[in-house]
Structure 1
Amino acid sequence: MFTVLIVEDDQKIASLLKEHLEKYNLLVHIVTSFTDVLDDFQKHHPNLVLLDVNLPKYDGFYWCRQIRTLSTCPIIFISARDGKMDQVMALESGADDYLTKPFDYDVAIAKVNSQLRRAYGSYAPTNQERIVEHAGLTLYPERLLLRYQSKEVELSQTESKLIETLLDKAERVVSRDRLLEKIWDDQLFVDDNTLNVYMTRTRKKLGDVGIEKAIETIRGTGYMLRIQEENKA
């Protein structure tokens, strides 16, 4: 039986979520004290967390980052804040999905079940760590770590997704649409400017490990990763 932790200060919403989730044979715990959410997380060891943004004391972004120091379990934000930057911040903090209030409970349950399948079910990765490598550049997606020669740098989830996609298609053009799909399943929430911002950050991370100018912008099409001798810092 999978365990779900609900971190939501609206008790009516929390109770309704619990009621719906339990219909699917899920064990559900609701956080009632928001002073230290990590206490509840460590007590219940949930397989998935439903996390509100607006919380007493510290917001959901803070608690998401704290949980990520302990676990890679799926985290779905639930929030009345539907701004693009709120959703970007959620992903950057380590979230896997974002659900905007008011939401349909059937959709919420579908998202929960989808994340559980990906993390623990038929779509789950094997126990062996995934490694993506090209021309000496090595990405460890599950650790959000990038390594080149003797240097390494930590990545955000979004940066890791972008680098993995470019590595998979190294020396070939990856379309902007493909990259947008990778950083957000629903392209309505991410525009070209957001992708530009992420690509700038990704280029900087490559520079941090000693590779410069490896990501080429193919005007009107997308991007290409090409690691050559002259690319090295």
Structure 2
Amino acid sequence: MFKILLIEDDKSLFEEIQTRLTQWSYEVHGIDDFGQVMEKFSSVQPDLVLIDIQLPSYDGFHWCRMIRAHSNVPIIFLSSRDHPMDMVMAMQLGGDDFVQKPFHFEVLIAKIQAILRRVYNYSTDTVKLKTWNGATVDFEKNEVENDAGKVELTKNEMFILKLLVEQKNKIVSREKLITSLWDDERFISDNTLTVNVNRLRKKLDDIGLGQQIETKVGQGYCALEAADKL
């Protein structure tokens, strides 16, 4: 689990971003005393920093300088300020990206994922096999096999199944599925997602697992383990 230090003094925005990032399995830490940012940074040792420009005590540029004096951790600026010089300053001080408020969360998460992959050589494809309801899911060969037989999936179908199985018995939102597919350069629309999930279910029906992909109306999908229900 990657740790993110979110340096944001707008409490409602902090809570919203924290909630959304936690849903993506990130560990999010905030600041209690905006005069003691470096103490918090040292104790958390984050993998990435999200920082606003306008802050109490000292601005985000100051804290970026302080962080850069000790660490090369990736830094993304979040700001409602839209002057080009703010963006230039952020980059010159060592910022890795600049996201202007208000922003779509999908844009923020895509930037976070791209930076983490680049900096830490992180890949979601490191695990090749997984067991689910007695079946072996082979992410590399795009196959699912159990005692009833074996089915071959398309890359998109396997990508969706992988995301669901990795969060088995938990709801994965349509938004997260679409964003993950786009971020992986598998361009997919909301309607195409529905088609892919339906095809995935139909193929899994052949080995008795179709009903284990459950639709949560208005929320997303869930890969159930055995007969568990949410």
Q: Give the TM-score of the pair, scaled to structure 1.
A: 0.52
Letter matched to residue 99 of structure 1: V
| Structure 2 CA distance for aligned equivalents of residues 84 and 63 of structure 1 | 20
List gaps (5 residues or longer) in structure 1: 124-233
- Over the aligned positions, Cα root-mean-square deviation in angstroms equals 1.1
Letter matched to residue 40 of structure 2: D
1:108-160: CA deviations, max 9, x gaps?
Answer: 1111111111111248xxxxxxxxxxxxxxxxxxxxxxxxxxxxxxxxxxxxx
Moved more, 23-32 or 1-10: 23-32
Task: Specify the alignment match of 1:89 in structure 2.
Answer: 89
Number of aligned residue pairs: 123
What displacement does 1:47 show?
0.2
Does the 8 Å contact 2:116/2:122 carry over to 1?
no
Task: Specify the alignment match of 1:23 in structure 2.
Answer: 23
Task: Specify the alignment match of 2:47 in structure 1.
Answer: 47
| Structure 1 CA distance for aligned equivalents of residues 112 and 19 of structure 2 | 14
Match runs of 1:18-167 below 5 Å: 18-122=18-122
Does the 8 Å contact 2:77/2:95 carry over to 1?
yes
Letter matched to residue 80 of structure 2: A
Letter matched to residue 28 of structure 2: V
1:15-60: CA deviations, max 9, x gaps?
Answer: 1111111111111101121012101100100000000000011100
Structure 1: 4+ residue segments shifted above 2 A: none
Does the 8 Å contact 1:80/1:100 carry over to 2?
yes
| Structure 2 CA distance for aligned equivalents of residues 32 and 116 of structure 1 | 25
List gaps (5 residues or longer) in structure 2: 124-230
Query: In percent, how many aligned pairs have the same letter?
Result: 45
Does the 8 Å contact 1:9/1:32 carry over to 2?
no
